[in-house]
Amino acid sequence: MTTQPESLMPPMARDADSVPVLQQILDHATAVVYVKDRDGRYQFANRLFLDLFRRNASEVIGRTDAEIFPPEITANLHRNDALVFERNAPVEFEEQVPQQDGTHTYLSLKFPLYNSRNETYAVCGISTDITERKTAEEALRASEERYHTTFNASVDGLALCTPDGRIMDANPAFCRLHGYTREELLAAESFQFVHPDSHLRCWAFFEAASAGHSLKSEARAKRKDGTIFDAEAHGVPVHYGDEPHLLLIMRDISERKQAEAERIRLEAQLRQAQKMEAIGHLTGGVAHDFNNILTAVMGYVAMAQERVAAQGDEKLDKYLERALRSGRQARDLIQQMLTFSRGQRGEPRALQLPPLVKESVKLMRSTLPSSIEFNTSLDATLPAVLLDPVQLEQVLMNLCINARDAMQGAGQLHIALEKIAHRDGVCTSCHQPVRGDYVELIVRDTGSGIAPEVVERMFEPFFSTKEVGKGSGMGLSTVHGIVHEHGGHILVETRPGTGATFRVLFRPMSQAEGKSGSEATESSTNAAEVRQLNGRVLVVDDEPAVGEFMGELLQSWGLEVVVKPNGADAEALFAENPQHFDLVVTDQTMPRMTGIELAQRLMARRPGLPVILYTGYTERLTDEQTRRSGIRALVTKPVDIGAFFGLVRDILKPR
């Protein structure tokens, strides 16, 4: 039981019966209650005070704070008491007081006590322990500080939204993402920053969040300046102020979407390239087989033509010439297949373009719809150009097909050949300066024209504005490759709605160059007139028809010939007497041992052995490669008999 002078008790407490009652009330209070006089000496302390600070009444009553508490807190307690006396009114304080389990915080209401003369003679304090509340408040403050730090430092755009889409808070990244200030965002609704195409998705997003579901989605968002960007949004339901809200997390994924689109485009290109490679392998095999067949067919026809010419049967000679011409057409068709599918390098020679273009236009007339009207203007006085004829046809065909598609199958197609002096411009496909004299192949259509952004990319491989499956995107890139391989350029004149004009520029040959090319062709033809040779030749070919023909052809020139069906048999025969044969003629593509491998084995036994290699498909072979292997010449099937004779004659003639 606490004790204090009776004079300090209020009037009610002076009654003998009231003192125990008041004492019991104060001792059972859940707050610390105490009274200190003007000198700061305790005149009363309830039981909770004594229990908390582990004191008995004699250790408190009549003593000051300095005698009860550590010196570091007594000054503050004394100042608070003095302030109550000074103001003569109740004052509320937060006071830290040490206890056995640590420092506690108390909310203290201190007020003056008055005597009968209305004079303040003491201060009464009622202190409630708010340590747990302060700890919770501090934890909440720290949590909110961490939240705001994280919220504001996040590189993702964060916004706190109500279920109906109003923005309650937004971090700097969200503001930058949309181009608004925080104040502008708080005065707006989130739908204001969404492209109309994504409004329904946005509503579904907020409805799911209102139902307590997290949701992740992509949408097209809008900035303050009106620009549109691809955004990824993640909504997390949260409670804010005891109300359900949505934490909206947004990031700009435009670069990622562009990268994905680029990946898809590259994958499509890869699939297209793989398809073209497969077609190329298939075409190469077909070309090899057809060239083997044509070698025998055209070879025997040519041999028959020589005999018929000797007999003077002009009509039969004409029939054979027509058969031979058809064989050459088949040979050129195979070469064109290879050029289309593999981009095989052509064989440039001096060409007069007008007759070739005229023949190609005839083919185009029968190939393209009759609703396309052709107009041609071909200058017959043009100088020759150095060009592969098959690849010229391919260039013209691709440009005409491109024009057909631009005109949607109906319109006027103008094809012209001109010589332009002092051309000055920039190549549309390679962007290099174009200066000087050129022979120009012009293809002009009356289609819809080409947009500038398409012109920038239309010569790229696989680029196409057509629907999927309607084009490979290789037409104009093939034109680019062929034209620049021959030292040419391409100029494009177009505007949307006015059609397009493609000018393909080739360097003209000088008169001396053109004459030299013609003489070389003439000498090749004349070389076939005298065909009597001496020597021993080993022929190797796994195709019986081709091997038999090559043997008979060489025998018809007076040569001794042995034919073997494979490399192993040929090597075994050669090993018996490496000096016996003057020349080896071998096919390249044979099972178990290629022609080059056979040649290397034979030349290891006899260095300097003359070897002619012939093949139906030269995808992996070049003249340079064969020369490095020690092979004298590379001949393509079907064999040109006149050129082949000249080659054999030059190798076997005495040194």
pLDDT of residue 359: 87
Quickly state the pLDDT bin for 14 (edges 50, 70, 90).
low
Strand pairing class (102-114; 633-636): unpaired
Average pLDDT for 531-553: 92
User: What pLDDT does residue 609 have?
Assistant: 94
The answer on pLDDT for 480 being more than 90 is: no
pLDDT for the residue 484: 84
Closest C-alpha among 237, 236, 233, 208 to residue 221: 233
Specify the pLDDT at position 154. 85
Tell me which of 530 and 636 has the higher pLDDT. 636
Helices (H), 120-243: 131-153, 172-178, 182-186, 199-210
Residue 448: C-alpha distances to residues 400, 405, 494, 496, 513 (Å): 15, 10, 9, 6, 41
Residue 276's H or E segment, with its range, is helix 254-311
Token reading at 108 = 């203290």
Residue 511's pLDDT is what?
46
Instruction: Note if the pTM is more than 0.95.
Output: no
Task: Kindly state the DSSP code that residue 58 receives in the 8-state scheme.
Answer: G
Q: Are 574 and 565 in contact (CB under 8 A)?
A: no
Looking at residue 383, its amino acid is: P
Q: Which pLDDT score, from 0 to 100, does residue 515 have? A: 45
Residue in the block written with tokens 């947009």 = 451
pLDDT of 563 reads 96
Sequence-distant (≥ 6) Cβ neighbours of residue 335 within 8 angstroms: 344, 390
Q: Please choose, from the candidates 509, 529, 219, 198, the residue with its C-alpha nearest in 3D space to the C-alpha of residue 348.
A: 509
The CA–CA distances, whole Å, from 326 to 329, 330, 365, 548, 575 equal 5, 6, 21, 22, 42
Q: What is the pLDDT at residue 472?
A: 54
The yes-or-no verdict on residue 327 having pLDDT over 70 is: yes
Order of strands, edge to edge, in the sheet holding 32-37? 42-45, 32-37, 120-129, 102-114, 91-99
Q: What b-and-e string marks burial along 233-244, b requiring 16 or more CB atoms within 10 Å of the CB?
A: bebebeeeeeee
Q: What is the pLDDT of residues 55-82, one digit of tens each?
A: 999 999 999 999 999 998 999 999 999 9
* Distances, alpha carbon 624 to alpha carbons 31, 347, 609, in Å: 106, 15, 18
**pLDDT band, very low/low/confident/very high, at 524 (cuts 50, 70, 90):** very low
User: For the segment 382-425, what is each residue's pLDDT rounded down to a tens digit?
Assistant: 999 998 888 888 899 889 988 998 888 889 999 999 988 878 88
Q: Are 177 and 157 in contact (CB under 8 A)?
A: yes
Range with the poorest average pLDDT among 63-72, 345-354, 514-523, 627-636: 514-523
Taking residues 536-541, what's their average pLDDT? 96
Of residues 527 and 561, more confidently modeled: 561
CA distance 106 to 129: 4
Q: pLDDT at residue 341 above 90?
A: no
Distances (CA, A) of 604 to 95, 375, 571, 584: 107, 62, 11, 14
Q: What is the CA radius of gyration of the chain?
A: 51
Give me the DSSP letters along 202-233: HHHHHHHHHTT--EEEEEEEE-TTS-EEEEEE
pLDDT score of 18: 59
Express each pLDDT in 570-618 by its tens digit: 999 999 999 999 999 999 888 899 999 999 999 999 999 999 998 876 5
Q: How confident is the model at residue 622 (pLDDT cuts 50, 70, 90)?
A: low
Count CB neighbours of 224 within 10 A: 14
520 confidence band (pLDDT: 50, 70, 90): very low
- Residues 485-497 have a mean pLDDT of 88
With a pLDDT cut of 90, the percent of the chain lying above it is: 33
Q: Is a pLDDT exceeding 50 seen at residue 528?
A: no
How are beta strands 583-587 and 611-615 bridged, if at all? Answer: parallel
Could you tell me which residue, 517 or 439, shows the higher pLDDT?
Answer: 439
Least confident of 296-305, 506-515, 562-571, 633-642: 506-515
Average pLDDT over all residues of the chain: 83
Q: What is the pLDDT of residue 441?
A: 95
Q: What is the pLDDT of residues 242-251, one digit of tens each?
A: 788 888 888 9
Does 620 score more than 70 pLDDT?
Answer: no
Is residue 348's pLDDT more than 90? no
Is the C-alpha dihedral spanning 612, 618, 624, 630 positive or negative?
A: negative
Using an 8 Å Cβ cutoff, are 551 and 563 in contact?
yes
pLDDT over 70 (residue 527):
no
What does the pLDDT average to over 162-186? 88
Distances (CA, A) of 523 to 4, 349, 475, 641, 642: 143, 15, 37, 14, 10
> Distance between CA atoms of 408 and 499, rounded to whole angstroms?
12
Which domains are assigned to the chain? 6-131 (3.30.450.20), 154-252 (3.30.450.20), 345-526 (3.30.565.10), 529-652 (3.40.50.2300)
Q: What is the Cβ-side half-sphere exposure of residue 177, based on CA atoms within 13 angstroms?
A: 28
- Residue 493's pLDDT band (cuts 50, 70, 90): very high
pLDDT over 70, % of the chain: 87
Tokens of 530: 């005298």
Residue holding tokens 């908390």?
52
Q: How far apart are CA 128 and CA 133, in angstroms?
A: 11
The DSSP line for 583-605 is EEEEES--SSS-HHHHHHHHHHH
> Where do we find the tokens 């057509």?
466
Residue-level pLDDT at 377:
92
The arithmetic mean of pLDDT across residues 445-450, rounded, is: 90
Looking at the predicted structure, is the pLDDT value of residue 562 above 70? yes
The confidence score (pLDDT) of residue 190 equals 72
**Nearest alpha carbon to residue 50 among 106, 113, 2:** 2
Lowest mean pLDDT, pick from 69-83, 142-156, 611-625: 611-625
* Predicted confidence (pLDDT) per residue in 284-296, tens digit: 677 777 777 888 8
Confidence class for position 639, pLDDT limits 50, 70, 90: confident
**How far apart are the C-alpha atoms of 570 and 537, rounded to whole Å?**
12
Would the pLDDT of 516 be above 60? no
